[in-house]
Amino acid sequence: MIRSALLLALSAVYSLSQAAPDLTTVSERSGFLKTGHYDEVIRLCSAFQQAYPRQVRCIDFGITPEGRPMKALIATGTGAFSAAAARQRKLPVTLIQGGIHAGEIDGKDAGFQALREVLDKQLAKGALDQQVLIFVPVFNVDGHERFTPNNRPNQRGPVEMGWRTTAQNFNLNRDYVKADAPEMQAMLALVNAWDPLVVVDLHVTDGAKFEHDVSIQVEPVYSGDTELRQAGLALRSNVIADISKLGAQPQSFYMSFVENDNPASGFADGVSDPRFSTGYFQLRNRMAMLVETHSWKDYPTRVRITHNAVVSVLEQVAAHGRQWQAAAAAADARAVAIAGSAVPLSWKTTERARMIDFKGYAYSRTPSDVSGILMTHYDETTAQLWRVPLRDEVLPELSVTAPGGGYVVPAAYAAGVAVKLRQHGIGYSVIKTAQAQASVETFRADKTTLTPASFESHQRLAVTGSWKAEPRAVGAGALYIAVGQPKARLVMAMFEPQAPDSLLAWGMFNNAFERKEYMEEYVAEDVARAQLAADPALAATFQHLLESDPAFAKNGRARLEFFARRHPSWDERFNLYPVMRSNAPLQ
């Protein structure tokens, strides 16, 4: 009898433990002083699915270079646990990612807490019945496990945290377009499958000391589809209002001084290039939010603010997601018809400023006996209202007219480019019939500038020049990328050579701008004399240059190259961008 009672008691305890796994984080249990290692994410991902089998699925969506699983939680009250089911039911999808910079780990701990409270209907009641949430607790998993107490010297807590970059030293928030990192390739595959309407990227900013505790930035607001900006502005405004009611002191711009370490210089708002999350998703006609808590606030404060922002986003998508979906679909339709339109590819903040009140602290700036430069000292015991300039007029910097048809990539470059197109879910076709004289436009660089140092494993290239009509041969096996598709802006961002994060800018075509064949000087001398004797007009042009351009006159190599460029042996493909534009479809 006693043994039976004991077995029943043990069975009850076992059943209770199976039904109610511990869903709290190391962070919560430590009073938000610590954060857990990645094995906690693996455990919690499974535990949430066990605790909420009707609302949560735990999935792997990639493997890191060091062999760790990339985990995501799919949470919804609709039962739509596949991308196909979400599309069929026309459910808005919200993607929230933490730890793209793994030292800035507020999002992981805030996200798990918020998810549990939403599932328990303590907060945002019913929000998951109106959407699918994809929560990626840690994007940069290998960097997360580079755990020390010294990774973020300008950040207050947690006690230990991960590293900014991946095991391969990639900064994932510079990788959205070039997609070098396996982690980014896995993320883009997840994005292509689920097509999230809203993407939330959770960070912690660096910076000075002041009272404001979080930046909330959204695109499209300044950039992207003009009409979709209304939805982006609504999302930004509503989240700022929500978290302000709960005690946060947010701003809608990135709180970094125009002049480093000088509060009086004020702030400048702007649009990030597409290597960043907020610059990338607007090219897909979707909304991206950057949440940047302030590094000098303590960890409990930062987690609380991030938590409140996550809950607010879920409430906003639940309330407005269907309307915003329709706006995004309309933006897709406009993108399909973008041919012949002027499309901004980069943005600039003008010098126009307005004065704002900003909650800072008393400070002084005095010369440092260590560095010899002015050093700012903040007194956090004394609040001070700063009156500072904010530059927030953002205008297009580079605009390019979209081709009438699309872009043509020769067969020699097709394999590598096709990989990039598939990574971004961009449609393309393979040209089956060679054309000896296709009606296309070509871009020849008048000037090329390589960065002196590597950046994100690339030697970047900038070019000046313009598109010009020039019939060219297009061989079978070339790629044709129509601009008339929903991701038209992304297509142009990748293939317009002067766009800030084009494939050319990232060095994918550097070989085309390297001179490979040369003429010996003694040969060039004979070639020059033969050309001068045969062509009086050329001789006159050469003489004019000698007289009018002192630098040319003093540069023997430049003088010989003047003639080499006019010789039949000159490589006509040198400085020719190997991507063409077509104003009509090619097959």
Note whether 508 and 425 are same-domain residues: yes
DSSP 47-59: HHHHH-TTTEEEE
Note whether 507 and 530 are same-domain residues: no
Q: Quote the tokens at residue 451.
A: 């960065």
Our CA dihedral for 454, 458, 462, 465, rounded to 10 degrees, sits at 150
Residue 74, in any domain of the structure: yes
Q: How far apart are CA 280 and CA 286, in angstroms?
A: 9
Q: Quote the tokens at residue 404.
A: 């009438």
pTM: 0.94
CATH of residue 120: 3.40.630.10
Residue with tokens 């997360």: 144
Residue with tokens 């999350």: 277
Note whether 107 and 240 are same-domain residues: yes
Amino acid at site 469: A
Note whether 292 and 416 are same-domain residues: no
pLDDT for 20 equals 75
Residue 287, in any domain of the structure: yes
Residue 143, in any domain of the structure: yes
Note whether 390 and 407 are same-domain residues: no
Note whether 101 and 229 are same-domain residues: yes
Note whether 278 and 358 are same-domain residues: no
pLDDT for 1 equals 45
Q: How far apart are CA 577 and CA 41, in angstroms?
A: 46
pLDDT for 587 equals 84
Note whether 166 and 21 are same-domain residues: yes
Residue 572, in any domain of the structure: no
SS (H, E, C) 141-163: HHHHCCCECCCCCCCCCCCCECC
pLDDT for 449 equals 98
Note whether 501 and 550 are same-domain residues: no
From 478, 498, 515, the end of a domain falls on: 515
Residue 571, in any domain of the structure: no
Q: How many domains does the chain have?
A: 4
DSSP 3-state of 329:
helix
Note whether 505 and 526 are same-domain residues: no
Note whether 451 and 483 are same-domain residues: yes
Residue 575, in any domain of the structure: no
Query: Chunked in runs of 10, what are the mean pLDDT values of the chain (587 residues)?
Result: 47 50 97 98 98 98 98 98 98 98 98 98 98 99 95 95 98 98 98 98 94 98 98 98 98 96 97 98 98 97 98 98 98 98 98 98 95 94 98 98 98 98 98 96 98 97 98 97 98 98 98 92 93 95 95 94 91 96 93
Residue 76, in any domain of the structure: yes
Note whether 377 and 460 are same-domain residues: no
- Residues spanned by the domain of 542: 521-564
Residue 286, in any domain of the structure: yes
